[in-house]
Amino acid sequence: MKNNKLSILCIVGARPNFMKIAPMMRIFNQPGSGISAKLLHTGQHYDAAMKASFFDQLGIPEPDVDLGVGSSSHAVQTAEIMKQFEPQLDLIQPDLVLVVGDVNSTIACALVAVKKGIPVVHVEAGLRSYDRDMPEEINRVLTDQISELLLTTEKNAQANLVREGIDPKRIHFVGNVMIDTLFANRERAVPPKEVLAGLTNPAQFLEAESGYGLVTLHRPSNVDNPEVLARLLETFAEISQRMPLIFPVHPRTRGRINAADLTGLLDSDRIALLPPLGYLELLGLMNSAQLVLTDSGGIQEETTALGIPCITLRENTERPITVEQGTNTIVGSDPKRIKASFEQIVTTGGKRGRVPELWDGKAAERVADVLLQWGSRAASAKSP
């Protein structure tokens, strides 16, 4: 404890971390919060479109430290973060290191911290796809094993953690910080008309009788194998004949499409290819979409919170509540299943769904409460 405040070093690295950290930084930095928070960005994502616009739009303070590690293989990226994080941690010496989600930055910083005897808080703990081919699954399992406090978004997560031998006393169901950001920004979302203003034919999407669909795709399992990628793009082209599609393309996906020479498959005036978008632009498009086709983890949750039908292009999900209670349907990458799910949504309007428990815009406040309780227990354990 410094100046009687609990000092927390918050870590971000990649795009999906930014919307999770934003509401926590805001609550932690409020006067009288009892918490003093610093922010460290590993630099895993570095393009303006993948980073800067999120900091601006979500009011995230400039990081106190930016490691600037950039992209490379998993091993090099993870090792580089660890190497550069250690001396920073020595300088800052926080009471706790807080990591979010499941990206390489999450496990890298958690591992360094725990080995230095600094307890780790994992926000969004306990999610499991039970698919160890996903790099994120490895990151989740390992981060949870070495975390002192495990803060969960849904009750399935608690059961997963207990099965893995985690002491239930360390697990706290706080809700979903990403949905805090969603609800706080819904009114500020950029209208689709503005997002599409640069297109030659925005009316094709904005005034289509069918409405438009929104596509996002970046998982290695979908984009790294050219055959799988081609099959998915052909399926999008087919669907676009029924419903025009807007597709902001992740840098990884853009690279794979170019490398496999597949650009021609998307050459249609019914598919709008956009660069990666800012948070408020994507939210605007998502909020007005008829349906979403995605392999993102976060978008499965956001569509559930917004009540928009979501077709998930993966064989499994670590977020089962979005299927059990929300608007999500898991279909994988098989064109037949994707098209069947699309048809079903077009004819029935899709699952109605409801917003899961504690996805109420107040999760960051509960996170702060749990951390402060931990802080006072730690302080009284230390006092003679």
For residue 347, give the 3-state DSSP assignment.
helix
Q: Compare residues 16 and 244 and give the one whose CB is closer to ligand UD1.
A: 16
Interface with ligand UD1, residue 34, by CB under 6 A: no
Minimum CB separation of residue 138 from ligand UD1 in Å reads 9
The count of other CB atoms within 10 Å of the CB of residue 273 is 17
Q: Compare residues 30 and 71 and give the one whose CB is closer to ligand UD1.
A: 71
- Tokens 């070093």 locate to 9
Interface with ligand UD1, residue 218, by CB under 6 A: yes
Minimum CB separation of residue 223 from ligand UD1 in Å reads 8
Return the range that interacts with ligand UD1 (CB under 6 A); candidates 247-255, 282-290, 321-329, 337-345. 247-255
- Tokens 């998930």 locate to 312
d(CA 184, CA 58): 9
* List 53, 57, 84, 104, residue binding ligand UD1 (CB under 6 A): 104
Contact present, 133 and 92 (Cβ < 8 Å): no
Minimum CB separation of residue 66 from ligand UD1 in Å reads 13
* List 46, 183, 221, 307, residue binding ligand UD1 (CB under 6 A): 46
Q: Compare residues 16 and 248 and give the one whose CB is closer to ligand UD1.
A: 16
Q: Which residues contact 280 (CB under 8 A, 6 or more apart)?
A: 57, 185, 188, 189, 190
CA-closest candidate to residue 205, choices 221, 217, 192: 192
Interface with ligand UD1, residue 14, by CB under 6 A: yes
Count of residues in contact with ligand UD1, rule CB under 6 A:
19
Per-residue binding string, ligand UD1, 126-165, x by CB under 6 A, is: ---------xx-----------------------------
* List 2, 30, 52, 71, residue binding ligand UD1 (CB under 6 A): 71
Strands 65-66 and 96-100: unpaired
Q: Compare residues 47 and 334 and give the one whose CB is closer to ligand UD1.
A: 47
Active site residue 250: no
The count of other CB atoms within 10 Å of the CB of residue 349 is 11
Q: Compare residues 55 and 342 and give the one whose CB is closer to ligand UD1.
A: 55
Which DSSP letter does residue 189 get? P
Q: Which of residues 50-69 bind ligand UD1 (CB under 6 A)?
A: 50
CA distance to 17, 24, 27, 65, 188, per residue, from 119 (Å): 20, 18, 21, 20, 36
Torsion sign, CA atoms 215, 220, 224, 230: negative
d(CA 144, CA 252): 27
263: left (phi over 0), alpha (psi -120 to 50) or beta: alpha
* List 59, 68, 168, 255, residue binding ligand UD1 (CB under 6 A): 255
Q: Compare residues 250 and 351 and give the one whose CB is closer to ligand UD1.
A: 250
Q: Give the residue numbers annotated as catalytic, written as ranges.
A: 218
Chain positions contacting ligand UD1, by CB under 6 A: 14-16, 44-47, 50, 71, 102-104, 135-136, 218, 250-252, 255
